[in-house]
Amino acid sequence: MINNKAKIAIVGGGVAGASTALYLGQLGLNVTLFEKESSLVCGPPFCHLHAGGNLYREISDQQCVKLLKQSIDFLHFYPFVVDYRPTVIVLPTSDSSTPEALLPRLELLKDEYESLITADPNNKVLGESSNYYTLYDREQIEFLKQQPVVSKPQTCDEWMIPVAKNIDLDKVQFPLIMVQEYGLNLFRLAAGASLALEQIESITLRTKTIVSNIQEECNADGWGITYIKDDETHQENFDYLINAAGFRSGKIDDLLGVPCKRMVEFKAAYVSKWEEYDDTLFPEIIFHGERGTPRGMGQFTPYPGGYFQLHGMTKEITLYEDGLVSNTALSCQPQLGQNFIEKIERSWTEEETDQRTKSAIKHLSQFIPAFFHAEVGSKPLFGAQQIPAMIPHCV
């Protein structure tokens, strides 16, 4: 049990650090959040709430169930951050698997969701459990293709109409699967978490502040944190330390000399503009495929105003040659190549933005032919990701 006079330091104000600070602050605990940038949640992007892990065929059933439970907790904590629109899972005819192969997992997830609702009715945040997933055969899709688009879709069928009208039905396997995995709105989360944190008295926000050193103060019973703000160096002691430094978490581990095994991956998503569809609400559409091959999974994520965020799990689009690195015995911090660090800390060339966004448009237009006319909409969304680590109080 932590007493509420104990001082807790969190290093890193991304979604992990900001949410932890908010949770602990709401319990009345004394938290200081250190973030080197001028605002919170400005690291790698996110657009999808993995409420069942249906984007990842390669992960285990157990991991999918865990993702379902974590997403339900997330929705309780941040109901305003979710864009309530479903996801359509599509298997191309070129895929080596079939939609039927996904059904046992979907049934498992539906049953898990139902038992979570039975245990606590407040867990019903993804709609009715019987609707967790819905199958559409070709006949149903051909019927929906003839229906007018609905401006504010409510039912699964209404959401499916723009999909039925726009995908090449000869290039996909049936049934199509609609699942209740929603959109995550990064911008609302960043704004909402920052506003909420500023209101909590027991929280000290230190933005534009770099944690430069940490020493385990076992005799003094805590952690000595050295930080730099406005070119001045300060030192403060804390009872607890949470490492939420994202892909730089290994650097904090190095300061503490703790053993670790970490991986970091650089990835990017691209922003396109599809003028003809600036007032149509689409669900997210996933075209499954083998990661790292030219047929890598395609992800088509709608935003308002005709903007679509695109992933293609190929090395020409989302993934990069040498973009996935592990740490070594010498350091907990996996070393990304300088070209990736340049992108993260500075910028992209217009040429690469153009080239990769156009490759992404081409990748998705294999299945959505009219999308070929989409254009580059904005700068890419990108970053390096890593699982944050929690360091227990020294013993």
Ligand X SMILES: Cc1cc2nc3c(=O)[nH]c(=O)nc-3n(C[C@H](O)[C@H](O)[C@H](O)COP(=O)(O)OP(=O)(O)OC[C@H]3O[C@@H](n4cnc5c(N)ncnc54)[C@H](O)[C@@H]3O)c2cc1C
Pick the piece of the chain touching ligand X (CB under 6 A) from 12-20, 23-31, 230-238, 283-291.
12-20
Please pick, from the candidates 105, 110, 248, 262, the single residue that binds ligand X as defined by CB under 6 A.
248
Please pick, from the candidates 17, 99, 175, 312, the single residue that binds ligand X as defined by CB under 6 A.
17
Smallest separation, CB 380 to ligand X (Å): 8
Instruction: State how far the Cα of 245 lies from the Cα of 259, in Å rounded to an integer.
Output: 17
Q: How many residues does the chain have?
A: 395
Pick the piece of the chain touching ligand X (CB under 6 A) from 40-48, 122-130, 171-179, 335-343.
40-48
Q: Which residues contact 242 (CB under 8 A, 6 or more apart)?
A: 8, 9, 10, 11, 17, 20, 388, 390, 391
Question: Which amino acid would we find at residue 74?
Answer: F
Closest to ligand X by CB, 175 or 283: 283
Instruction: Write out the binding residues for ligand X, residues 189-228 only, by CB under 6 A.
Output: 210-211
Range list of H helices, 40-102:
61-77
Smallest separation, CB 38 to ligand X (Å): 10
Closest to ligand X by CB, 141 or 184: 184
Closest to ligand X by CB, 14 or 175: 14
Please pick, from the candidates 29, 189, 244, 325, the single residue that binds ligand X as defined by CB under 6 A.
244
Q: Which two tokens stand for residue 191?
A: 């704004």
**Could you tell me the sign of the dihedral formed by the alpha carbons of 135, 140, 141, 144, in that order?**
negative
Question: Which amino acid would we find at residue 200?
Answer: I
Please pick, from the candidates 12, 162, 283, 296, the single residue that binds ligand X as defined by CB under 6 A.
12
Instruction: State how far the Cα of 24 lies from the Cα of 17, in Å rounded to an integer.
Output: 11
Pick the piece of the chain touching ligand X (CB under 6 A) from 168-176, 232-240, 262-270, 351-359.
262-270
Closest to ligand X by CB, 17 or 153: 17
Tell which residue, 263, 291, 268, has the closest CA to residue 347: 268
Find the angle CA(13)-CA(49)-CA(25) to the nearest 5 degrees: 35
Smallest separation, CB 118 to ligand X (Å): 27
Pair type for strands 183-184 and 176-179? unpaired
Closest to ligand X by CB, 292 or 369: 292
Instruction: Write out the binding residues for ligand X, residues 159-188 only, by CB under 6 A.
Output: 184
In the complex, the residues that contact ligand X under the rule CB under 6 A are 11-17, 34-37, 43-48, 50, 184, 210-211, 244-248, 267-269, 381-383, 385, 388
